[in-house]
Amino acid sequence: MALLDELIVKKEVISYLSPPIRELFCCLKKDVYAQLEEIRLRCAQPVLLKIGDKDFSIDEQGQMNSSINRGYRVSEDDIYRTVAAISDNSLYAFEEDIKRGFITVPGGHRVGLAGQVVMKGHEICNIKDFSGLCFRIAREVRDCARPLLHHICDSKKCRVKNTLIVSAPRCGKTTILRDIARLLSNGDISRACNIVVVDERSEIAGSFRGIPQLDLGPRTDVLDSCPKALGMIIAVRALSPQVIITDEIGRKEDVEAIQECVNAGVAVVSSIHAGNLEELQKKPLLKELLSMGIFQCAIFLSRRKGPGTVEEIIRWD
């Protein structure tokens, strides 16, 4: 497994780094690749590897170090070459992605961009003079949602319940959503469903040029880079889904779109940022949704025993 992780990370992530940084990764142990979550490059700062909750750097001999100041310092040229590699030397072809602050590379890995933001009116029209990059390694954790499926699926009515996956950032919401999509689409436990994933930030499917890079099952359609509210309405009208899966709801229009989906008989499985039920109920828009009884199940996650630890499951059905 560690070998597979090493091969995938080297091929799909490390290959985009500038040659001097790429060479540093040659000496790393296989286990590091299996646990690696992020690689951060910041101009004039050490290369940082995020493993679990800790940061490590790599020194010029390629040795991993918990003292980050000993790490190889990233140069402007490293940033330029890495940006050139991830954009295939074609920043113009990634304008929309850059406006949203990231570029997705084949394999579904996201590269967050930091630099000078150019505004036009009240909207971001470009980011230029890049100063920092954050590679977030996308991982499929197959069957991580399998134990949750019997809470999500109503076996008597043969339908999926409207479900919220709730946690603070980096607790595995997206990975769980992705696996729910795959399992429901495969029909592994319940009856197979037509799924539409409305993937506003290309995180769930990790699409590259519109094609999902991660396995979402055979009955899943993906609306990539589509605003959630708009995507949910399009999906109901055009793709006849039984379940819509989307990430990080929170705006007024999202709530209205969810109401419309539920009224059309389509189940919604979504994630939302909140640490616990109290925090969830403090969100005014969610409070409204919860009081209307639209959601029948909420699954609370944490990182207590690693990403995806199920803390609590609340059922309102």
Partner 1 sequence: MLLIKALGGICVISACGVWGLKASRSLERRREQLKDLRMAMNFLEKEITYMHTPLSLALARTAYYSEAPISFLFELSSRYLSEKKGLTGGEAWSKGISFMRKHADLKEKDIALLKTAAQQLGMSDASEQKKYFALLQEQLKILEERALQEADKGQKIWSYGGFVLGFTVVLLLL
Task: List contacts with partner 1 (CB under 8 A).
Answer: 15, 18-19, 22, 80-81, 83-85, 87-93, 95, 98, 126, 128
Q: Which is nearer to partner 1, 103 or 235 (CB)?
A: 103
Q: Which is nearer to partner 1, 93 or 313 (CB)?
A: 93
Q: Which is nearer to partner 1, 38 or 80 (CB)?
A: 80
Within 87-141, residue ranges assigned H as helices are 95-100
Q: Which is nearer to partner 1, 98 or 261 (CB)?
A: 98
Strand partners, 126: 118
- CA atoms of 89 and 103, how far apart (whole Å): 13
Q: Which is nearer to partner 1, 79 or 181 (CB)?
A: 79
Q: Nearest distance from residue 265's CB to partner 1, in Å?
A: 39
Is residue 201 within 8 Å of residue 158, measured between CB atoms? no
Q: Which is nearer to partner 1, 99 or 303 (CB)?
A: 99
Q: Nearest distance from residue 96's CB to partner 1, in Å?
A: 10
Q: Nearest distance from residue 93's CB to partner 1, in Å?
A: 5
- CA atoms of 272 and 169, how far apart (whole Å): 9
Q: Nearest distance from residue 224's CB to partner 1, in Å?
A: 16
Question: What does residue 31 show for φ and ψ, rounded to 5 degrees?
Answer: -60, -30
Q: Nearest distance from residue 48's CB to partner 1, in Å?
A: 21
Within the chain, residue ranges assigned H as helices are 2-12, 19-24, 30-35, 76-86, 95-100, 149-152, 173-186, 228-238, 252-263, 277-282, 284-291
Q: Nearest distance from residue 91's CB to partner 1, in Å?
A: 6
- CA atoms of 213 and 211, how far apart (whole Å): 6
Q: Nearest distance from residue 16's CB to partner 1, in Å?
A: 9
Q: Which is nearer to partner 1, 81 or 109 (CB)?
A: 81
Is residue 119 within 8 Å of residue 125, measured between CB atoms? yes
Within 136-251, residue ranges assigned H as helices are 149-152, 173-186, 228-238
Burial class (CB in 10 A: 0-12, 13-18, 19+), 298: buried
Report how far apart, in Å, the C-alpha atoms of 172 and of each of 34, 39, 99, 283 are: 16, 18, 25, 21
Q: What is the dihedral of CA 46, 50, 53, 56, to 10 degrees?
A: -40
Q: Which is nearer to partner 1, 63 or 89 (CB)?
A: 89
Q: Nearest distance from residue 10's CB to partner 1, in Å?
A: 14
